[in-house]
Structure formats: structure tokens, C-alpha cells
Structure 1
Amino acid sequence: MTGRASSTVAGVLEETSPRATRVTPPEPADAVGVGPWPGGEADWPADRRYDSELLAHGDRRNVADRYRYWTIEAIVADIDTRRHPLHVAIENFAHDMNIGSVVRTANAFAVAAVHIVGRRRWNRRGAMVTDRYQHLHHHEDVAGLLAWAEMAGLPVLGIDNVPGSLPIEGRPLPVPCVMLFGQESAGLSAEARAGCTEILHITQYGSTRSINAGAAAAVAMHAWMVQHAGPAPE
């Protein structure tokens, strides 16, 4: 063999000659998101919200279609114009694996912020990169969170299935407020329970004492949304 060489990469024949044309396999029909902007660079939108890298290579992120090709900063700025006055806090004294799930749900509901109480570090895998679009705050301990909430004029609603708690179903929820969740195994700490304006629980009908903390947060946030959020954006 002489002249040009060839190699096989991922099942696609690519010639290594300078004159060779790269052969790109077609994208699978079930590919997530969108490919490069149709028409090439000359047809790219001039809007500053768009990301040139995404326009050139496609946008495979887990974002709503209205945000395709937008920069992260542009998406956050847009959500900031319509965030809800609901704050979500979760105690993190044992590296709770559910924090990522809570952050992801908070992003889905456009809450004002998620507050991590206790250890600063947490496993972000469950957030599925939604933490890039969600405001996050850290408090060293429960006292720090409660002091912040008092300064902000926000009542703190504990969500835990403990004696004396009230069912969240049908209960009027304050518009601006903080929902505070405990760890998966222990629930809310004694200090957290003592500092809450009231403690609510999600009614259950089976044999288990409690449900997953990430699931509980989703149910509680949705209960607030049903009462106060109104219609979702187009």
C-alpha cells in the first residue's frame, strides 16, 4: 500500500491524507437535545444569550427546549426573573446522598435558593448538573440558618413525620417561607425542630415509617407550588 493510509475509529472509516474528508456518522434518532444550529455560523442568532460552542456543536444538556443553545448565565438570569419566594434547606451532617435530588427538584420548581446546613461538601451526582442553574447557600449549623431566616422575615416549616406534626395536605402554606428537611435516617435534628414555626408531615398509608428524603422534598415543594405558583411558562 502506498499514498494515503486509513484507520477505523468507532466503526467509521477515516482517511489520514490531508485531502481526506471526515465522515461523521448520523446521530441516533433518540439523541437528547439538538445538533448544531442549522445553516452554519453565518446563520447564528446575534442574541448574546446564545453560546457559540453550543451553536457549533449542538446542545445535549438536560434543559427545557426554550433554553437550547443558551449560556448557563443567560438561563440563570431568565429564571431569576420569575423565581418563587420558597427557600429549601436540608441538614447535611452525614453526607446525605439525597441532597443532589433535592437540588434537582428545587431547580425544576424554580425555588429562590437551596440552603445546605452543616457540612459544606455534598455529592452532586444526583443533581445532574442542575446545581449550575440553582442558587445555593451554606450555613455552618442550624442556628445559622434560623438566624438568616429571622433576618429575612421567613417562617421555617419543618417537614418530618414526628409526633405533633400536622399533615401538609390541604394546609395553607405561607408564600415566602423556608422548608427545612432532615437527614434520611434521623430526620430533623432536635435543634431544627425547636426552631421551626411549625412541623408538617406527608400522610402515608403503608407500613414504612418514612419516605425517602429526596421524595419527601419533591412532594412538599409541589404542595407549595399547587397553592402559589400559578401556570408554568410556555
Structure 2
Amino acid sequence: MERDDESGHERPQDQEREVGVGPWPGGRGTWPDDPRYDPELLAHGDRRNVVDAYRYWRLQAIVADLDTRRHPFHVAIENLRHDLNIGSIVRSANAFGAARVHVVGRRRWNRRGAMVTDRYQHVDHHADAGALAVWAELAGLPIVAIDNVPGSTPLERGGLPRACVLLFGQEGAGLTADALEAAAEVRHITQFGSTRSVNAGAAAAVAMHAWVQEHADPSAWA
């Protein structure tokens, strides 16, 4: 219960705001003649967490459209202990238009934090940092490790490669020695408080946004 500021009486909390949109306005006779649209969503409404431009679109149509506009940076995360941050990193990768996410180590990862964005985001697996390094070399992508270790340079200094792999470590432990060895360079996020590090999911979001600020063209996504 919460208190009504005017009357002083208690009243139930407002119901949670409904997400998305209802059935297509005007009924079946006004449905768009476009194969990207899903008849089930048109008929019953679209309550998914998608931007308005993709309302009522089929999942496959959204992925296909995203594939024409994804950015050339990739995101990789070491998964040694079923890290809960991986889901939130996938969600951020989707939000910032990453080309792909690469899970390094354990194949299984906790999808709860992804909030189903993994349906729209390509996610690959590599057995270890060495396998990721081989893939990145074949793809012509330098690996930029993000960790506050001796010899690293500030992320905010700029100069991130346009096409690259941003590599993050396990929560708490940071990047393994093999991962650091595979990296072409190591960057850190400058901090000003008492804690030694920020959460891995937060660090990934900061690094992706730094890439976006340096290289992205917002008008291409309008």
C-alpha cells in the first residue's frame, strides 16, 4: 500500500505499466501487406521489449534487419564459473548494436539477465582464449582486453579500433593470463572511488558505449 498525498488514505499501488501495444488498430482488414509482420502479433498485440520500429514484426525479420546495420565491434566474455553477468552483457551488446557476442570457456551461461535479447543477438562459443584468438586472427579483428591491470591504458583516451573484439573477464577474477596474452592491447576504465573494480556487466556497457561515442553514426539507426 502507499499513501495518497491529498486525502491521507492508503490506496493500492498503481498497476505495473503495460508494455508494448495491443492488436493492430482498425482490425484485420487494415493489416499491412508486408511479410515482415506477424499475423499473431497483429491480431493479439505485441508486448515484447522492442523499439517501436519493430512492433508487430516477426522475430526472424527483426534479426535480418539488425544484420544489415550491426556495428563491426564484437564482445567476448570469459565464462569460467557460470557468470551471472553474461546475460546483462548480451543485453547491452544488443542495445549497442554489436556484431556478435562470444562466450569463452563454459558453453552454458545464465540467460536470465539477457531478458530474451539473445533471440536477437548472435552468440558464439569458443572453448578457451586460444580458440577465440585463432578466430579473431582469421577474421582480421584485434582483441582489446578491458581490465585494470599494470600496463593497461585508459579507455577514455580514445583510439579504439573500429573493427575489434572487446574482451572481458570473469566477475571478480578479471581476465585470465591466456586472455591477456591473446590481446593486442589492454584498456582500463578510470575510476575515482574506493573500490578496485566495477561490475563486469557495467564495465562491458561502459566500454561498448565508448566505442559507440567514437565510431557510431546514430542517423543510420533512425
TM-score, structure 1 as length reference: 0.87
Q: In structure 2, what is the equivalent of residue 53 of structure 1?
A: 40
1:73 paired residue among 49, 60, 64: 60
Q: Please report how far the alpha carbon of residue 30 of structure 1 lies from its aligned counterpart in structure 2 after TM superposition.
A: 3.1
Say if 2:168 is the partner of 1:195: no
Q: State the partner residue of 1:174.
A: 161
User: C-alpha distance in 2, partners of 1:171/1:202?
Assistant: 11
Residue type at the aligned position of 2:87: G
Question: In the TM superposition, what whole-angstrom CA distance separates every residue of 1:164-216 from its partner, at most 9, and x where no partner exists?
Answer: 11100022011100000000010000100111101000000000000000000
Partner of 1:205: 192
- Whether 2:93 is the aligned partner of 1:106: answer yes
Gaps of 5+ in 2: 1-14
* SS in structure 1 of the partner of residue 35 of structure 2: coil
Aligned twin of 1:93: 80
Structure 1: gaps of 5 or more residues? 1-27
The DSSP-based 3-state class of the residue aligned with 1:208 is coil
Output the amino acid matched with 1:199. V
2:133 — aligned with what? 146
2:107 to 111, 117, 120: 120
From 124, 135, 138, the equivalent of 2:122 is 135
Measure how far apart 1:32 and its partner are.
0.9
Q: One-letter code of the match for 2:185?
A: E
Q: Structure 2 CA distance, aligned partners of 1:60 and 1:31? A: 8
**Alpha-carbon distance in structure 2 between the residues aligned to 1:116 and 1:159:** 15
The code of the aligned residue for 2:183 comes to C
Distance 1:59 1:112 in 2: 26
Which aligned segments of 4 or more residues in structure 1 are displaced greater than 2 angstroms?
Answer: none
Question: Partner amino acid for 1:182?
Answer: G
The answer to whether the 8 Å contact 2:158/2:214 transfers is: no
Aligned partner of 1:72: which letter?
Answer: L
Aligned residue in 1 for 2:142: 155
Partner of 1:230: 217
Structure 2 counterpart of 1:160, one-letter code: D
- SS for the counterpart of 2:99 is strand
Identity %: 69
Indicate how the Cα distance of structure 1 residues 158 and 29 shifts in structure 2: closer, same or farther if over 3 A, else same.
Answer: closer
Q: In proportion to residue count, which structure has more helix?
A: 2
Q: May I ask how many residue pairs the two structures share in their alignment? A: 207
Cross-structure match for 1:35: 22
Q: Choose the corresponding residue for 1:64, options 51, 54, 61.
A: 51
- CA separation of 1:48/1:188 partners in 2, compared to 1, >3 Å: closer, same or farther? same
The one-letter code sitting in structure 1 at the alignment partner of 2:29 is A
Residues in 2 aligned to 1:210 and 1:148: alpha-carbon distance in whole angstroms:
29
In structure 1, the residue matched to 2:9 is: none
Q: Does 1:215 align with 2:199?
A: no
Worse-matched range after superposition: 39-48 or 56-65: 39-48
Secondary structure in structure 1 of the residue aligned to 2:218: coil
